[in-house]
Chain A
Amino acid sequence: MGNSSAKYDFETGLSDSCWELVISYLDVISQVRLAQVSKRLYSIFRNYAKRRYKHLDEKLIQMLSAEELEQLLQLIGDQVQSYVKYSCGHAFEQLYRRHFEIIVRNCKHLERFALYKVLLCPELMSQLSQLQHLWLRIDAGALRSRLLESLIPLQLEVLVLRGPQLNAEETKYICNITSLKELDICCAQTPIEQFLKLQQLEKLHMVMPWITDDQFLALIKGLQRLQTIYVPRSAGSKATATSNSSVNAQQWAEESRSPEEASAAAQQGLPAREPLVKNFFVGLADNELLGYPEVINREDMASLQNALLPVKDYFAEAPLQPHSLENLQQLGLYGLNVPTDYDGKGYAWSASLMASEPESNHTSLALSLQTHRVVVDMLRELGTPEQQQKYLPELGSGKLVASDAIFEYAPPENDLFGTKASYDLDKHTWTLEGEKAFVVMAPPGASQLFLVLAQTQNINVTGELGRELTLFLVDGKQPGVRLGETHATFGCREAVMRRIHFDQVQLSNQQILGRAYEGNRHSEQLMRFSRLRSTLLGIGLSKRLLNHLTNFSVETTQCGVQVKDLEMTKVNLSQAMCSIYAMESMLYLTAGLMDEFNNQDVTLETAITKYYTLQQLYAISTQNLSLLGPASLHSGQPAELALRDSAQLCTQGESLTTLSMFIALSGLQHAGIRMNEGVRKLRNPLFNPGSIFSKFLSSTSLESPKTNMRLAEHVHPTLEAPAQYIEHSVARLNMAVELMFTRYGNSVVERQHELQRLANIATIIYAMWASIARASRSYCIGLPLADHELLTATAICSQGRDDVLRLAMEIYNGNYINNDNNLLRLSKQVAKSKGYFAVHPLTFNF
C-alpha cells in the first residue's frame, strides 16, 4: 500500500516539466520502461520524444538492441522523421533487417532514412509514403531492382545509393522518380534521355565510366534546374571534380580518354575513396576505413578454405623436399589469380593472398610463385583480350611460368635501364637489345615468359623527353634470348636467379603489355603488385622465426631459469608479435581496399606494407642472433637460413631506402597539390601577415595537437585511447609536412634524411591504423584470443605514438638540433678522404 501511494505521490506530485527533466537524465531504455508505467508518463515521454527523438541518429541506434528499438518505436514511431545509420557493423545484417521491419511498421511519417547494407523488403518500402530522403547501401541483385521499382510511387527528393554499379534497368526505375532533387548514384551505361525525365534535379553526383562528351553536355543542357554536377572519372580515381554547369570541355575530354582502362576496372566494387595514407599527409583520416574490410563473403570463404586443404596438407607433409613442378601444377598454385574464364581460380587480391599463405613457409618457392603471380596480375590488368587468351590459360596451368625482368647489374648513368628496344617503322617490329639481372627462373620443365622493361625512344617526341619505358612480354624460347650466369645469392637459394641476355630479339607489337612508351606508369602498377605480394613472404618468414624463437625460449633453461621468463626475452617476443600483427593487418587491409573499391589508390599503402614488413623482418631475424647465440649461425640451422632469406628479401626488388623515399615523396606530392596555397603564404610571411598571425594565435602544437577526426567512434570503446593516438599522430604528420614545405619549399625533395623520417611516421601511422581496425573487428565478433589482439593493438599504438612524436620533434627541431648538420658536415670529409679519415688513436704528434 505504501509503495503504491509513494508512486502515486510521485506521479501527481511532480509537474510535467519536472518529469521531463527526470526523463532527460535517464538513458533511452530506462525512458522507455518509465513511459510504460502510466498513461501520463507516456504522454509526457511522447512530448519529450517529439523533440529529442525526431531524428534517430547513429549514436542512439547503436545503443539499442532490436527489442529495445522496437519498444521505443512502438511508443513514438509515428513521430520519427529520420533514421540514419551510415556506418557498417560487422555481422549485423540480420539485426538491421529486423530494425528495418520495425521501423517500417511503426514509423509512418518517416521522411529521412539511411541504412547500411540491409536486406530490405520492397513491399515494406512502399509503406513509407512520406519518405523524402533515402540513403542506402545495398548489393546488386534482383532484390535491388524490385526495391528500386517500389520507390517510384514515393515522392523522394534525395536519393543516395551506395554499392555496386546499377544496371540499365535499375537506372530506368530511378529515372522514373521524377520528384528527385538530388541524386547520387553509380551506374552503368544508360541512355541519357532517361535522365532528362528528372526535371526537378538540382544536384547530380554520378559515376558513369563510359559517359562521353556529348552525353555529358546533353545532360547539362537538358536538366534546367541543375546547380551542381559531379561526375568523376571512375578509372583514374584522381578526384577530378567538374563542378557547376560551366564545364571545361577540354578537361572533360581528357578524363574520358581511356575507355579501355575503365572497362578493365573490376565490374563490381564501390567507387574509389580518397587515398587513405596519402591523406594522412594532409591531416585527414577517412574514419570509415577503420572498418576492417570483409571482401570475401561467407560462402566464398568456406569454399576457399576447402580448396586450401589439400595445399596445406601437401606443405605440412612435405616440409623440405624440393617441390616438383607437377605437384605445384596439380595444386593449382600457378593459377590462383588467373580469371575463371581462363581456367584459373579467379581469386581476387585478398583471396589469392590467403591462398598463397600455405606455401610461404618455403620462402624460395614462394618467391618464384609470387613473381609469376605478379606478371599474371599485370596481364589481367593491362593485357589485351588476345594476349590474355594467348598466355593466361598456359600461365594458369603452370606450363608457362612467368617472371619479371626489371633490374640490371650495372644500370647506365643517365638512363633508367641499359636494355633498349628500337622500333622498325617499316617492318613494325621491335628489336630488343641488352641484359637483365636477378631474374627468377622457372622450375625445370616449364617454359618461361619474361616481362621485360626496356628503354624506348618515342618516335613522335625527339630528345630527352621521348625517352620512355615500355613493357614487353618475351617468350623464353624466342631466338636471341639467352640465359646467362646464375647469381650465387645469399639467401633464397632454391629460387634460381640468373642473368638474361637479349641479342637482337625481334618482337611484334602484340608483345607490348599495356601501351608503348607508357612503361613508367605501368611499372608503377607493377611495383605496386609486387610489393603487395612480396610482403606475404616476409610475413611467412617472420611468423616462422617467432615460432622458432618461442619454442626455443620455452624449451631452454639457463641457470635454472627458463629463457621465456627472462624479461629481455619477454620483451623481444612481444615486440616480434606486435610487428607481425601489424604487418598482417596492413597486408589484408590493403588487399581489402583493392578488392572493395574500384581503382582505389593504394600506391602508398602497398609501399608502406612492404617497407614495414622488411624492416621488422630484419629486426626479428637479427634478434635471433642475440638470443640463440653462435648456434644460430651454424650452416643449415633454421635460424641461419631464415637470416639469409630475410637479408635476401630486403634486397629483392627495391631497397629499404628506396622505398622510404618513395613513400615520403608520394605523400608530399599529394600534399603539395593540396597545401600549395597555405605553403606559399607561410613562405612569404611579410606579404601575408594575416595568415601568420592566425598561425601564431592557433593553440594547437606538436605536443598536444587538436584533432576532430572522431576515430574512436569507429572502433570498439576499449580502443578509444589508441584511436586518439592515431589522431594525434596524423595531426603531427601533417604539421611536419607543413613545416618541411615551409622551410624548404620544393627543395624538400633533397632533404632525404628528413624525408626518411616522414616516411617512417607515415609507416607507423598506417601500422597503427590497420592494427586497431583489425583488433576492433576481432573483438566485436569475438574471434579467439581477441582480448589479446586488443592488447597487441594497444601496444603497437603506444609505441607508435612515441615514435611518431620523436620523429616529428626531430623534424620540428631542425638540422642544428637533431644532429643532421653534424652528419652532413662530416660526410664531406669522409668523401674527401675516400673513407675513414681519423688517424690511429695512439698516434704521436711530436
Chain B
Amino acid sequence: MIRKLHCILRLNSTITQSIYKQRAPTLHCRNYATNEANENHKNDSSNTKRGGAAGSSKNLPSIRNPFAAAHEKTKNSYLTMVEIFEERDVHRRNHVEFIYAALKHMPDFGVEHDLEVYKALINVMPKGKFIPTNLFQAEFMHYPKQQQCIIDLLEQMEDYGVMPDYEMEAMLLNVFGNKGHPLRKYWRMMYWMPKFKNLSPWPLPDPVPDDTLEIAKLAVERMCTVDLRSKIDVFETSEIKDALDDTWIVSGMSPEQSKLMREHSRQKALYIEGPFNIWIRNRRINYFTLRADADPEFLAQLDKPQVDEDDVTQIGVPLFGRAPPRRHNQLGKVRSVHQQDDGTIFAICATGTSTKDSLLSWIRLLEAHGNASLGEIPVLFRFTSTVPAKAEQIEGPSNLPAHSSDTSSNKEHPDSKP
C-alpha cells in the first residue's frame, strides 16, 4: 500500500519546479550533515589527543573510543571491537559516532585497504529502519546523519582506492533502500572506479612487495620503459674486489645507451647525479643517473630537418630489402630518446645503500659488463644532497636508502674519481 502511494506521488511530482524545490533543501541537509560530521571529527580528534580517556568528552557522553585504547593493533582486534559493539545492546546506540571513530583509526590498524572491514562497519547499521517509505522521505534525505556517515565511509574507501563489491550493494540496499544516497554514491563509484583501476601505464603488482630490492627493481624497470630494449641488471658489489659496502645495485641500461657511450668523446666527463626520488605506491626509492652534458650544436643538427621535403627526385630504393633510412637531417642519424636537451643519459641505478662507494662499484660493474669505454672517460659525482661515503655512516638499521633533505649546500660538489 505504501509502495503504491509512493509511486503515485512520484508520478505526480514530475513538475520540474517541485523537483527543484526539493533539491535545494536536500543540498542544505547534506551540508548540514557534513558540518555535523566535521564536528564529530573534531571531537574525535580531541578525544584521541587526550589519550582516548573514555567518556571524558561532553559531546559524546555515552561512547568510549575503544580504538584509541586498543593495545594490539591488528585486523583481528579491529573486527573483534566491531563485533563487541554490535553485540553490546540491541539498539546499537551511537553507532554513527562509532563508525566515524572506527574509520578514523583504520590506518593505525593497517586495515584501510581492506574491503571486509568496511563491510563490517556498514553491517553495524540496523537493517530496514532507514529505508524511506514515501517520496518525501526519499528525496529529503531520510536519516541524514546516518546516510552521511555511510557516504563518508564510501568516500574514505574511494580515497584509499578500495573498490566495493556487489555484496556491499546488497548491504546498502538493505540499510537505506534503493533510493538512499549512499547507494547512489555506491553506483557512481562502481561506474568510475573500475575504469580508473587499470588505467596506470605502469601497473604495480598487487600486493606491492615489501622488499626494498624488489621495489627498487620495479622503480628502475618503470623508468626504463622509455626504451623498450632496456635491460635491468641486479649486481652485487661483492663482485668488485675492493668494494667497501656489501649491497646490491639495480642498474638499467639499453644497448642504445651502450652505443651512445661508445661514441661518447673520451675527453668529456660523465656525471653521476642524484639522488632523485621515485615513489612506488607509498615507498620512496632514491636513484642516480649516469649522464653527460648535451652537445647543443650536435642536437640542433640532428633536429634540423632535411633541406627540402618537397623534393621527390631523390627517392632511394632498398637493396636486399634493407631500406636505407631516409635522411631526416644532414647527419643521417636519428636522435635517440636518451639524448635530451639537458644531457645524454647513459644509465640509471638504485643501490641498497645509496653511498658513494656503492656508486663507484656501479661504474666498475658497468665497465666490466660490456662498457669498456667507461674506463677511459672521467666520471664525476654531482650530488643534490649529502650522500654518505660508505654504509657505516648511515645511522640506524633502516634499509631504506638515505633521504637527507638538505639540498642547499652540496650542489655542484664534484668529487673526482679515477
A interface list, Cβ under 8 A from B: 406-407, 411, 416, 520, 523-524, 527, 654-655, 657-658, 661-662, 665-666, 668-669, 672-673, 675-676, 679-680, 683-684, 741, 745-750, 831-832, 834, 845-846
Contacts and interface: CB of A to CB of B under 8 A. Distances in A.
Interface residues of B, number: 28
Contact of B312 (A411, A679, A750): A679
Interface in B302-320: 306, 308-320
User: 8 nearest interchain CB pairs?
Assistant: A658-B321, A672-B312, A745-B309, A669-B315, A665-B317, A846-B163, A845-B194, A683-B310
A746 B312 contact: yes
Contact of A749 (B198, B308, B313, B326): B326
Interface of B: 163-165, 190, 193-194, 197-198, 225, 228, 306, 308-323, 326
A750 B326 contact: yes
Given A745-B309, A746-B326, A832-B228, A669 B320 contact: no
Contacts of A845: 194, 197-198
Contacts of A406: 320
Contacts of A683: 309-310
Nearest to B166: A846
Contacts of A524: 319
9 contacts: A523-B320, A683-B309, A684-B310, A745-B310, A746-B308, A746-B315, A746-B326, A748-B315, A831-B228
A655 B321 contact: yes
B337 to A, nearest CB: 13
Nearest to B228: A831
A747 B321 CA distance: 18
Given A679-B310, A745-B309, A747-B326, A668 B315 contact: yes
Given A673-B313, A845-B197, A658 B318 contact: yes
A747 B315 CA distance: 9
Given A750-B326, A845-B198, A416 B312 contact: no
B311 A662 contact: no
Contact of A662 (B194, B308, B317): B317
A665 B315 CA distance: 7
Contacts of B326: 746-747, 749-750
Please report whether the interface of chain B is mostly helix, strand, loop or mixed according to DSSP: loop
A845 B203 CA distance: 14
A416 B315 contact: no
A750 B318 CA distance: 12
A22 B311 CA distance: 60
Nearest to A665: B317
B309 to A, nearest CB: 4
Given A658-B321, A683-B310, A746-B326, 15 more contacts: A416-B320, A654-B320, A661-B323, A669-B316, A672-B312, A679-B310, A679-B312, A741-B312, A746-B312, A746-B315, A748-B312, A748-B315, A749-B316, A832-B228, A845-B194
B312 A675 contact: yes
Contacts of B316: 665, 669, 749
A746 B314 contact: yes
A111 B21 CA distance: 106
Contacts of A684: 310
A36 B163 CA distance: 106
Interface centre among B194, B225, B306, B319 (most CB of A within 10 A): B319
A672 B313 CA distance: 5
Given A832-B225, A845-B198, A846-B165, A662 B313 contact: no
Nearest to A681: B310
A739 to B, nearest CB: 13
Contacts of B313: 672-673, 676
A294 to B, nearest CB: 32
Interface centre among B165, B197, B312, B315 (most CB of A within 10 A): B312
A846 B197 contact: yes
Contacts of A668: 312, 315
Interface centre among A683, A746, A750, A834 (most CB of B within 10 A): A746
Nearest to B255: A413
A832 B201 CA distance: 10
A845 B198 CA distance: 9
B194 A654 contact: no
A406 B322 CA distance: 14
Interface centre among B164, B190, B311 (most CB of A within 10 A): B311
Contacts of A416: 319-320, 322
Contacts of A666: 317
Contacts of B228: 831-832, 834
Contacts of A520: 319
A748 B315 CA distance: 9
A304 to B, nearest CB: 34
Nearest to A668: B315
Contacts of B314: 672, 746
A607 to B, nearest CB: 10
Given A665-B315, A675-B312, A749 B194 contact: no
A664 to B, nearest CB: 9
Nearest to A683: B310
A662 B316 CA distance: 10
A21 to B, nearest CB: 56
A654 B312 contact: no
Contacts of A746: 306, 308-312, 314-315, 326
A213 B111 CA distance: 95
A673 to B, nearest CB: 5
B312 A662 contact: no
A524 B321 CA distance: 12
Contacts of B310: 679-680, 683-684, 745-746
Contact of A676 (B306, B309, B312): B312
